[in-house]
Amino acid sequence: MTTATSSTLESINPATGQPIGSVPVTPVGEIDAVVARAREAQKAWGALSTAERVEML
């Protein structure tokens, strides 16, 4: 379960009703740009070997 405020989204543990974290809310108008950047970044990430990915993580 989640609840939204003007700038964050709070995640609530449904078993306890306690908050477990919050994340910033991206305005709808920015979603396409965020997705485009993620797709571009995936190209470089996908070109890495498993060993290179492990080293980065």
Whether the Cβ atoms of residue 49 and residue 56 lie closer than 8 Å to each other: no
Residue 11 phi, psi (nearest 5): -95, 130
Identify which of 2, 3, 10, 6 has the alpha carbon closest to the alpha carbon of residue 27.
6
**Does the predicted model carry a pTM greater than 0.85?**
no
Q: In total, how many domains does the chain have?
A: 1
Q: What is the mean pLDDT of residues 27-43?
A: 93
Report residue 5's pLDDT band, with 50, 70 and 90 as the boundaries. Answer: low
The boundaries of the domain holding residue 27 are 2-56
Q: What is the mean pLDDT of residues 33-55?
A: 95
Task: Report the chain's mean pLDDT, rounded to a whole number.
Answer: 90
Report residue 22's pLDDT band, with 50, 70 and 90 as the boundaries. Answer: very high
pLDDT at 6: 66
| Cα→Cα distances 51→39, 41, 42, Å | 21, 18, 16
